[in-house]
Structure 1
Amino acid sequence: MGFQVVVDADKCIGDEECVEVCPVDVYEMQDGKAVPVNEEECLGCESCVEVCEQDAITVTEV
């Protein structure tokens, strides 16, 4: 069991909130956008979803 993490690049404003709040460093900034580079580490806590005011992040159990 794991989680699929998707960032809608059109909605992401690059405020780095998800990068800061993620306890397992799923995200890194690339070209001013958050990118889930360590998706396999995702705990499914959805802290990133909660802090993203643009609703750019979805976390789905797979």
Structure 2
Amino acid sequence: MGYKVTVDEEKCTGDGECVDVCPVEVYEMQDGKSVVVNEEECLGCESCVEVCDQDAITVEEE
């Protein structure tokens, strides 16, 4: 069982909070936006969802 992680580029302001809070480095900053680079590592903790003030991140069970 894994997780599908998406970042809405339209909403993302690039503050990097999700990059900082993620315990398994699912995200990295590219061109001023957060990008999902290690989706298979996602634990489903949703820490990123909680810190994203823009509601740009969704984490769904697959």
Query: Over the residues paired in the alignment, what is the CA RMSD in angstroms?
Result: 0.2
What is the aligned-residue identity percentage?
Answer: 77
Q: Structure 1 residue 3: deviation in Å?
A: 0.2
Q: Structure 1 residue 51: deviation in Å?
A: 0.1
Equivalent residues, number: 62
Could you tell me how far apart the structure 2 residues matched to 1:38 and 1:53 are?
A: 22
Task: Name the residue aligned to 2:21.
Answer: 21
Q: Structure 1 residue 27: deviation in Å?
A: 0.1
Could you tell me how far apart the structure 2 residues matched to 1:39 and 1:33 are?
A: 16
The TM-score with structure 2 as length reference comes to 0.99
Could you tell me how far apart the structure 1 residues matched to 2:23 and 2:30 are?
A: 19
Q: Structure 1 residue 6: deviation in Å?
A: 0.2
Which aligned runs of 4 or more in structure 1 are off by greater than 3 angstroms?
none
2:6 partner amino acid: V
Q: Structure 1 residue 46: deviation in Å?
A: 0.1
Q: Structure 1 residue 10: deviation in Å?
A: 0.3
